[in-house]
Structure 1
Amino acid sequence: MSLRPPSDAREPDFPAWLAGRLAGYLCRDIPEDADFAEYGLDSVAALGLYGDIEEEFGPLIEPTDIWAYPTIRRLARRLELRLPRPGGGDSVRAAFVFTGQGSQHPGMTAGLYLDSAGYRGRLDEAAEAVLPYTGRSMVDLILSGDERVHQTAFAQPALFAVGYALARTLQEAGVEPVAVLGHGIGEFAAAAVAGALTLADAAKLVAVRGAFMQYLPSGGGMLATCATPGELAELTAAEPDVGIGAVNAARATVLSGDLGALERLRDRLEADGIACRPLRVTHAFHSPLMEPVLPRFEAVARRLPGGPPRLPYYSTVHGRFTAEPLYAPYWTEQITAPVRFADAARELLAQQVPTHIVEIGPRVVLTPFLRRLGGTDGPVCLPACPGPRSDAVDLAGVCSALDAWPLAGSSASV
């Protein structure tokens, strides 16, 4: 058994090596980006391939990695990252963190869509998955700069499509996340990338979720505050129609509930010198005001299987790592549960010790919180889209920082 070639030798050509082994098991050649299962790789052959890797290169992966990285390109990149290097300890360990509602804006990622064939293909794929439920192409919505992207019925599927496409584009460039975490609606793209939901099932859940919420009565909102949950407890006790909607950092708590009650709380907070800001949302998300949605949503979700994540998944419903199946009970609870982002992010940082965290979304929202939570010795935090006009050059810079391959089908160099 050889762990790797001598340090002065060339690194293994993993794609060519995997292609040769797979051709032997499948009795035909397989393209680098084709899914193993679609070409007939079964569990016996997968274990055989795992054994070949173990014999040739040593203990670089687990047997489950064959299915977690189910193409030659992705599995080769996984092997490359796991290969010991002279000096050791310098391998990139990137976690993906998906933004939630409120990060959307007209024309988001339009420049990237026009510049990068890889991203264009993935966004087209996600947009096609949600189209039967939205009646409007998310690609057309984005490219036209349509202001309706702020309407919940469009915002949620559009954000899901963008998050899924960004993550898959990075994966195709060789960036394989060591863990995923999603904020609010971002959990659905995180679950799809982690293999807990298929693209088709995630798209359906997101689309019906947004549509059901869109038609709730108006009168709800959300208020971002520079306060701790403890500081807000006494105030919210006097306002039963308001609760905590999200805890993003030590002094970054979002209240959610009735607009009139939020306005009264805003006056009291500002009088006490605590900064706060209303969020641009149409409803009181992650609050009891969402309860009328639950029966209809659960009826849809029960018909979809869900499953356990195949990557480490940090739940912002529970505020911790979970390996439990993500199916109807989880997604139904998620609608009214507070987003425990800070708890989940702290546990991810402590358990996974990533070198990098990539914010997956159309603009910077969570990166400042992640930097605060990570501290001065924490990971490098990189937004996939640093600004509203982000394009392939920006994403190529992320790939370069992560020691990844150039973006597929892009004129941007890395």
Structure 2
Amino acid sequence: VSADVVSGVAGDIGPGPVLVFPGQGSQWVGMGAQLLDESPVFAARIAECEQALSPHVDWSLTEVLRGDGAELSRVEVVQPVLWAVMVSLAAVWADRGVTPAAVIGHSQGEMAAACVAGALSLEDAARIVAVRGDALRRLQGHGDMASLGTGAEQTTGLIGDRPGVSIAAVNGPASTVISGPPEHVAAVVAEAETQGLRARLIDVGYASHNPQIDQLTDELTERLSDIRPTTTDVAFYSTVSAERLADTTALDTGYWVTNLRQRVRFADTVEALLADGYRLFIEASPHPVLALAMEETIEQADMPATVVPTLRRDHGDTVQLTHAAAQAFVAGAPIDWRRWFPT
């Protein structure tokens, strides 16, 4: 990766910062626990998220964050918890002076993106992510997903004629995700490994962004029928359509069904943001799972831009947040250091 990708060009962030929200995979046991004690802003937003989730779940968000992590193995728990942590990290960035000019979300991350952008209320976003996770339980055991260190064309060749396997996400020039029946996904991984390619199964146990999701269409449509998105001034770049949504009232029930069913066009959407002049990408997550794919996309586009993480696995305190803020500041983000170090 070029030095420009890592360091960026100080002060040149184009229209403003982009907040990036990944899908499932950035979770780790203990994420958010230290910030509950160290950051009043984070703790307050988590409390609001817990209240918004409470009509739809039978567990406590705070208890899961402070617990032993056992609950994070359940899809109906981990997805809402990740959503809440990402929304709350965005609140911390905002408190320190960094509000997004644009947002982008990957799969379930789009719910956090829409909420932070103001296109969805906290209550509607909580409902979508809770219903989504609950519905996916019906498909557990019938599908798997895997991450491959290959581009879309090479991945298509690896899949071959294996039935039910499809590309679930294109994250970067050499980063894709596949989904489908467990035995066929495992066969693709084995084939990739024999060719010396990076490949690993993702611990989810279902097949998102795959025809298997069609089994959930009626349920999701009914349970999310009264979602009420609104317009917002924050640019929402859709990884379903790989472009900016001109009108975020389009983030209705049908959109969220499509979000789960269709391929995630993350790399294409990052390219669209770069083409529109955005130069600072902050991944608002417990661990930077999309950073490498973004850096590869930026390098391929041959544009100077900076990718900044927020927390990292086993580094979830205000010290890590300060490091992230310093990186963003060097790249031109308007960090309010008086908020970070009050006198």
Normalization by structure 2: what TM-score?
Answer: 0.88
1:334 paired to 2:259? yes
Distance apart, 1:208 and its partner CA: 0.8
Question: After the TM superposition, which of the residue ranges 323-332 and 305-314 deviates more from structure 2?
Answer: 305-314
CA distance in structure 2 between the aligned counterparts of 1:403 and 1:224, rounded to whole angstroms:
35
3-state SS of paired residue (1:404): coil
Change (3 A) 1:212 1:350: same
1:343 aligns to 2:268 (yes or no):
yes
Which residue of structure 2 lines up, in the alignment, with residue 395 of structure 1? Answer: 321
For the residue of structure 2 that corresponds to 1:222, the secondary structure is: strand
Give 1:189 deviation, angstroms: 0.7
Aligned to 2:151: 228
Contact residue 99 and residue 183 of structure 1 kept, 8 A: yes
Deviation at 1:307, TM superposition (A): 2.9
Q: Give, in whole Å, the separation in 2 of the partners of 1:338 and 1:388.
A: 31
3-state SS in 1 of match to 2:324: helix
Unaligned stretches of 5+ residues in structure 1: 1-87
SS of residue in 1 equivalent to 2:54: helix
Matching of residues 14-413 of structure 1 within 5 Å: 93-324=16-247, 325-354=250-279, 356-375=280-299, 377-400=303-326, 401=329, 402-406=333-337
Q: Deviations over 1:298-350 (max 9, x none)?
A: 11222112234431111111122212321111111111111110000111122
- CA apart distance, 1:90: 7.8
State the alpha-carbon separation in 2 of the partners of residues 139 and 271 from structure 1: 44
Paired amino acid for 2:155: L
Q: CA deviation at 1:407?
A: 8.3
Q: What secondary structure is seen at the aligned counterpart in 2 of 1:256?
A: strand
Take 1:267 and 1:369, find their aligned partners in 2: how far apart are those partners? Answer: 22
Q: Which moved more, 1:283-292 or 1:188-197?
A: 283-292
Change (3 A) 1:109 1:217: closer
Aligned 8 A contact 2:31 2:313 in 1: no
Runs (5+) with no aligned partner, structure 2 = 1-10
Residue by residue over 1:332-381, the C-alpha shift from the partner in whole angstroms, topping out at 9 and shown as x without a partner, is: 11111111100001111220322x21101111101111122222752221
Structure 2 vs 1, CA of residues 234 and 373 (structure 1 numbering), >3 Å: closer, same or farther?
closer
- Verify the 8 A CA contact 2:285 2:310 in the aligned structure 1: yes
TM-score (norm 1): 0.74
Task: Please provide the CA RMSD for this pair.
Answer: 2.1
Matched residue SS, 1:295: helix
Query: Structure 1 residues 387 and 263, CA, compared in 2 at 3 Å: closer, same or farther?
Result: closer
Query: Distance in 2 between the 1:270 and 1:231 partners?
Result: 13
| Secondary structure, aligned partner of 2:316 | coil
2:8 maps to which residue? Answer: none
CA distance in structure 1 between the partners assigned to 2:115 and 2:192 by the alignment: 39
| C-alpha distance in structure 1 between counterparts of 2:14 and 2:212, whole Å | 46
Give the superposition deviation at 1:406: 4.4
Give the distance between the partners of 1:291 and 1:105, measured in 2 at CA.
30
Say which SS state the counterpart of residue 55 (structure 2) adopts.
helix
* Alignment coverage as a number of residue pairs: 324
Q: Residues 91, 243 of structure 1: CA spacing in aligned structure 2 closer, same or farther, 3 A cutoff?
A: closer
2:4 alignment counterpart: none
Is contact 2:214-2:261 (8 Å) kept? yes
